[in-house]
Amino acid sequence: MSNPAMARPLRRFAAVGAALLAWQVVSAVVLPHLAPSAATLMPPPLGVVVAFVDLMRSGDLIFHILASLKRVIGAFAVAAIAGVGLGVAIGWWRRFGDLVDPLVEFIRPIPPLAWIPLAIIWFGIGDTQNMFIIFLGAFFPVVVNAIEGVRSVDRPLIWGALTLGGTWSQILREIILPGALPLILTGLRIGLGVGWMALVAAELVAASSGLGFLIEDSRNLLFTERVILGMVLIGLLGFAMDRLMRLVERRMTPWVVS
Amino acid sequence: MITRLVLSMVLGVALLAAGVLPAAAQQFTPWGWPQPYEQVSRKSIDWLKQQGWWPIQYGYQAPWLGQATIPLVIKDSGLDKKRGLDIQLQSFLAGPPLNEAIVAGKIQIGVGGNFPLTTLIVRKAPVHSPGVVWTPVLEHSILVPLDSQLKKPADLKGKVVGLVAGSSAEFAFNAYLRGNGMDPKDVTVKSLPIPDQATMPKGIDAVVPWSPTPSLMAKYRKNAKIFDDTAPFQLYWGTLHMRDEIFQNAPDVVQAVVDMAVEAMLIARRDIKAAVEVTRKDPALAGYPPEHVYEETVATVSAFKPAWIYPFVDVYAPAGAQVAKFLFDSGRLKEQLTEQSYRSWFQGGSRWMDATFHKLGWKIPKEPPYFPAGMTTAGFVKALAAGQRLNLILPYKLERPKAFPDPDDLERRWQFDGKWYEPRK
């Protein structure tokens, strides 16, 4: 390869292409020959493409994607504001942290999915219940990283500011928050990813739209092409959101070396 | 063992001498199964082992009472071992995951309601039914919150209803709306799994679950009340199905599975309480009140005459085609199945069950036991095509189980629970 800059992406593309080709051959040629019924369980990539075209043509796919995005963006916005606020407060005020941190650490390991039955009882059926599950997924990574971000700020910087007559609000605004920002942004990125995963699980129950619903509904009818399509889209959208968050990170914290 | 054999021989001779027993009388177990047990051939067993299908994996749906009782009783009573078979049970919570397992060959015997089995037909899965039908006319009800102001069907207009999308409940609910002069579009439907429906969540005006959830909510949890019954607007049915390879290579295994299903039903009929105890051992049913499981098992196993298990192909094929049309019209299926598709689903029509009934000395039933007096198959099919209310007998509304057998149910004398029953002369 004469151009080293192009070599790496090409290698990656070749690997993905080879995997897709192998999948196509196994699903469309080998499996039907060995066990025709197994082809239902492992449709070829071209079958997934056909399902994609069908659902795009009918408008169903856009409908489900938008429904999922609407839920995740709304819930993530709430989780970001609440999580950063609480994280900074716990990290900044020791006494408050002593009170609240154990509660956060107690609730944090409970998977968002475990909340689904209660969420349905509390919020009923609808977007609020789904958004609550996404919120739980996104909230804790944001809180934990915000706490760590605040606590990781160099103490000598704070002492210096105090010595120079800085007020606590000035110190919070001009030293703590900028110092904690890289970790806060990392928390937001992780939170968005976890929230996205939780969204799909939340949509498997008590939803009549969204990519999670599409997967479950297709599963009921053994439309495995659509199940795989849903999974691929979740992966692609999750990947796109992560890239977007990394871009935001780089823009907001240019001093951080990746 | 030898003492008992000698005693029974002595008793038999004495009874023969007394003229009580006819010569060469058929022997039956206390629950009415003819003796001796037919054995599955060595060839079939070797073939199953060769396939890696030994023990045979039998998937059933635990929350589907009546249907679940049968395999659990088969295993508990050792009916498989008595025929030289070895069955291992696999419990599933619903049809779709069971479908995945049977298509993948992880289980070789499965069960499904009319919607999951339609999926198998559409996907051309290597699976067919030997003609064992499960719990026809199962309860499907509309439930509303206790403080609901809904009084009549028309009140559902503009309301939010939770049901399992693409299920028999949605199908029956749509038929119910049409039957009451409404359009399905008049109601907002939210897809909601049964466990979530059972909580009667906020933001929902009504839910449409199927048995055993309606009575669980209304009678035991008391968190909802039954608004109306959608069962009269459809003929719900499901089947036992098996991998095609077994039909082709081990037909005696197919016959044994059909025989076991009927024998387990007889064991359950004879001692329904014991059958319920066996059923309740399934972890998925641990949370149900014992008396609830009892009531549901009575309704699904012994309310009708045993002919409920018989494959009335001329009845089920048009009912199935109606389901397929619903799925096709709603864009959930790409191809529309025909009546013939469902006829073909019953591999060999009713021949396996006919053989079982003949073994028992039972007459082949002409009409299903849920047809009211005067209803014929032709009349039923006509009503079905016209989208009319079907007015079938609802097993869960019967005051007491139907007696069996009448003289007209038998072609030979039959013994059950120590009592001999004679056919009509």
Q: How high is the pLDDT of residue B331?
A: 79
> Strand B238-243 and strand B109-113: pairing?
antiparallel
Residues of A in contact with B115 (CB under 8 A): 220
| CB pairs < 8 Å spanning A and B | 87
B165 touches chain A (CB under 8 A): yes
Beta-carbon contacts of residue A25 (< 8 Å; ≥ 6 apart):
none
Name the residue among A36, A37, A124 with its Cβ closest to that of B201. Answer: A124
Judged by CB atoms within 8 Å, which residues 78-117 of B form the interface with A? 95-96, 99-100, 103-105, 115-116
Q: How high is the pLDDT of residue B22?
A: 47
Q: In this predicted model, which residue has the larger pLDDT, B127 or A36?
A: B127
B262 touches chain A (CB under 8 A): no
Residue A144 pLDDT grade (very low, low, confident, very high; cuts 50, 70, 90): very high
A124 touches chain B (CB under 8 A): yes
Q: Which of A31, A40, A57, A133 is the best substitution to test chain B (most B C-beta atoms within 10 A)?
A: A40
Percent of all residues in chain B with a pLDDT value above 90, rounded to a whole number: 79
Q: How high is the pLDDT of residue A258?
A: 53
A1 pLDDT higher than 70:
no
Q: Which of A50, A220, A228 is the best substitution to test chain B (most B C-beta atoms within 10 A)?
A: A220
B162 touches chain A (CB under 8 A): yes
Mean pLDDT of A20-42: 82
Q: How high is the pLDDT of residue B247?
A: 98
Name the residue among B95, B120, B203 with its Cβ closest to that of A125. Answer: B203
Q: Do B201 and A206 touch (CB under 8 A)?
A: yes
Percent of all residues in chain A with a pLDDT value above 90, rounded to a whole number: 52
Amino acid making up residue B36: P
C-alpha distances (whole Å) from A193 to each of A230, A237, A243 are 16, 10, 11
Residue A51 pLDDT grade (very low, low, confident, very high; cuts 50, 70, 90): very high
Q: Can you give chain A as a three-state secondary structure string?
A: CCCHHHHHHHHHHHHHHHHHHHHHHHHHHHHHHHCCCHHHHCCCHHHHHHHHHHHHHHCHHHHHHHHHHHHHHHHHHHHHHHHHHHHHHHHHCHHHHHHHHHHHHHHCCCCHHHHHHHHHHHHCCCHHHHHHHHHHHHHHHHHHHHHHHHHCCCHHHHHHHHHCCCCHHHHHHHHHHHHHHHHHHHHHHHHHHHHHHHHHHHHHCCCCCCHHHHHHHHHHCCCHHHHHHHHHHHHHHHHHHHHHHHHHHHHHCCCCCC
Q: How high is the pLDDT of residue B14?
A: 42
Q: In this predicted model, which residue has the larger pLDDT, A133 or A201?
A: A133
Distance CA(B11)–CA(B17), nearest Å, equals: 10
Q: Which of A31, A34, A37 is the best substitution to test chain B (most B C-beta atoms within 10 A)?
A: A37
Q: Do B105 and A37 touch (CB under 8 A)?
A: yes
Residue B266 pLDDT grade (very low, low, confident, very high; cuts 50, 70, 90): very high
Q: How high is the pLDDT of residue A218?
A: 87
Name the residue among B103, B165, B203 with its Cβ closest to that of A217. Answer: B165
B13 pLDDT higher than 70:
no
C-alpha distances (whole Å) from B172 to each of B175, B233, B314 are 5, 6, 20
Q: Do A125 and B160 touch (CB under 8 A)?
A: yes
B111 pLDDT higher than 80:
yes
Could you report the per-residue pLDDT of B383-409, keeping only the tens digit for each?
999 888 898 999 999 999 999 999 999
Q: Mind telling me how many Å the CA of B94 is from chain A's nearest CA?
A: 10
A110 pLDDT higher than 90:
yes
Q: Do B125 and A207 touch (CB under 8 A)?
A: no
Q: Do B203 and A36 touch (CB under 8 A)?
A: no
Q: Can you give chain B as a three-state secondary structure string?
A: CHHHHHHHHHHHHHHHHHCCCCCCCCEECCCCCEECCCCCCHHHHHHHHHHCCCCEEEEEECCCCCCCHHHHHHHHCCCCHHHCCCEEEEEECCHHHHHHHHHCCCCCEEEEEHHHHHHHHHCCCCEEEEEEEECCCCCEEEEECCCCCCCCHHHHCCCEEEECCCCHHHHHHHHHHHHCCCCHHHCEEEECCHHHHCCCCCCCCEECCECCHHHHHHHHHCCCEEEEECHHHCCCCEEEEEEHHHHHHCHHHHHHHHHHHHHHHHHHHHCHHHHHHHHCCCHHHCCCCHHHHHHHHHHHHHCCCHHHHCCCHHHHHHHHHHHHHHHHHCCCCCCCCCHHHHHHHECCCCHHHHHHHHHHCECCCCCCCCCCCCCCHHHHHHHHHCCCCCCCCCHHHCCCCCCCCCHHHECCCEEECCEEECCCC
Could you report the per-residue pLDDT of B210-234, keeping only the tens digit for each?
999 999 999 999 999 999 999 889 9
Beta-carbon contacts of residue A223 (< 8 Å; ≥ 6 apart):
A51
Q: Do B100 and A222 touch (CB under 8 A)?
A: yes
B202 touches chain A (CB under 8 A): yes
Could you tell me which chain B residue has the CA closest to the CA of A58?
B331
Residue B2 pLDDT grade (very low, low, confident, very high; cuts 50, 70, 90): very low
Name the residue among B122, B192, B331 with its Cβ closest to that of A125. Answer: B192
Q: How high is the pLDDT of residue A169?
A: 87
Residues of B in contact with A40 (CB under 8 A): 103, 123-125
Mean pLDDT of B91-111: 92
Q: How high is the pLDDT of residue A150?
A: 93
Q: How high is the pLDDT of residue B6?
A: 45
Q: In this predicted model, which residue has the larger pLDDT, A178 or B22?
A: A178
Residues of B in contact with A114 (CB under 8 A): none
Judged by CB atoms within 8 Å, which residues 27-46 of B form the interface with A? none
Percent of all residues in chain B with a pLDDT value above 70, rounded to a whole number: 94
Residues of B in contact with A207 (CB under 8 A): 190-191
B51 pLDDT higher than 90:
yes
A257 pLDDT higher than 70:
no
Name the residue among A37, A41, A219 with its Cβ closest to that of B96. Answer: A219
B21 pLDDT higher than 70:
no
A42 pLDDT higher than 70:
yes
Q: Mind telling me how many Å the CA of B395 is from chain A's nearest CA?
A: 28
Name the residue among B123, B162, B333 with its Cβ closest to that of A125. Answer: B162
Residues of B in contact with A221 (CB under 8 A): 119, 122, 166, 327, 332-333
Q: How high is the pLDDT of residue A15?
A: 84
Distance CA(B314)–CA(B53), nearest Å, equals: 33
B120 touches chain A (CB under 8 A): yes
Quote the pTM value: 0.83
Could you report the per-residue pLDDT of B321-342, keeping only the tens digit for each?
999 998 888 877 888 899 999 9
Mean pLDDT of B252-280: 97
Distance CA(B190)–CA(B43), nearest Å, equals: 52
Could you report the per-residue pLDDT of B134-192, keeping only the tens digit for each?
999 999 999 999 999 999 999 999 999 999 887 889 999 999 999 899 999 999 988 88
Q: In this predicted model, which residue has the larger pLDDT, B133 or A252?
A: B133
Judged by CB atoms within 8 Å, which residues 143-202 of A form the interface with B? none
Provide the mean pLDDT of chain B. 91
Q: Mind telling me how many Å the CA of B166 is from chain A's nearest CA?
A: 8
Q: What per-residue string of b and e applies to A31-53 under the rule 16 or more CB within 10 Å gives b? A: beeeeebbbbbebbbebbeebbe
Q: How high is the pLDDT of residue B15?
A: 41
Q: Which of A199, A3, A27, A238 is nearest to A113 (CA)?
A: A199
Mean pLDDT of B407-412: 96
Residue A33 pLDDT grade (very low, low, confident, very high; cuts 50, 70, 90): confident
A58 touches chain B (CB under 8 A): yes
- Name B113's bridge partners: B238
Q: How high is the pLDDT of residue B24?
A: 52
